Structure 1
Amino acid sequence: MEIKVYGAAQTCPSCVGAPSSEETYSWLQAVLGRKYETALTFEYVDFEAAPVEDEWITALQDDVYFYPLVLLDGEMVDEGYVQLKKITQAIDRRLEKTAPE
């Protein structure tokens, strides 16, 4: 599973008091890496400095979403003030779908 965090060096103006995008990324790596035995890959994308645009970068630039924006295998699971419970629930649902019966 791939966890991708889109963010920027500057904290989202609407997310005052929230951790920075980079802090959120580091925190998710540490917590999820300890919690799950399954292979997780992590990627951080600074949407203001990314050399290539994609649909998520465009949406962030157009203020459609707050950042940090967290994707699990290409699907948005949380944005702005990221909550661990939302992320773990999405991972758990994905693991349940792939578990052998």
Structure 2
Amino acid sequence: MNTNEVEIVLYGAETLCPSCVNLPSSKETFEWLEAAIARKFPEQPVKMTYVDIHQPSGDSEKLNFAKRVIEEDLFYPVVVIKEKIVGEGNPRLKTIFAELEKYGYKAI
């Protein structure tokens, strides 16, 4: 069982990405993802962080990545684990879970 906390950062915005019509909002995706990870990897520490790309806060790494989402027209929400993009627009749980398993997370 994993005891090292991995941070999952979701970069999003209040408004939907123009290419993401009919998808949940960034905040809804964040909440859905948080719940899905808690169910799949119970009692294993995961730090979930939401960063608004239009009003970013946090360390310089997060501020720079938020700027990159806008400048590179990435489909948001963008899900990042340890500086690796693991989901864009409509993130897939399978991809995110596989990345967490690389860091020692065990599915229950």
Among residues 65, 68, 75, which one is paired with 1:59 in the alignment? 68
Write the distance in 2 (CA, Å) between the matches of 1:49 and 1:77.
Answer: 22
Per-residue CA shift, 1:10-34, capped at 9, x if unaligned?
0111111111100000001111012
Write the distance in 2 (CA, Å) between the matches of 1:95 and 1:51.
Answer: 29
- How far is 1:51 from its partner? 4.4
Structure 1 unaligned spans of 5+:
none
- How far is 1:9 from its partner? 0.2
Write the distance in 2 (CA, Å) between the matches of 1:18 and 1:5.
Answer: 15
Matched, 1:43 2:49: yes
Please, which moves more after superposition, 21-30 or 56-65? 56-65
Write the distance in 1 (CA, Å) between the matches of 2:72 and 2:11.
Answer: 13
- How far is 1:5 from its partner? 0.4
Matched, 1:15 2:24: no
Identity %: 34
Matched, 1:92 2:89: no
Among residues 66, 72, 75, which one is paired with 2:81 in the alignment? 72
Partner of 1:29: 34
Write the distance in 2 (CA, Å) between the matches of 1:16 and 1:63.
Answer: 19
Structure 2 unaligned spans of 5+:
1-5
TM-score, normalised on structure 1?
0.84
Write the distance in 2 (CA, Å) between the matches of 1:91 and 1:78.
Answer: 13
Partner of 2:3: none
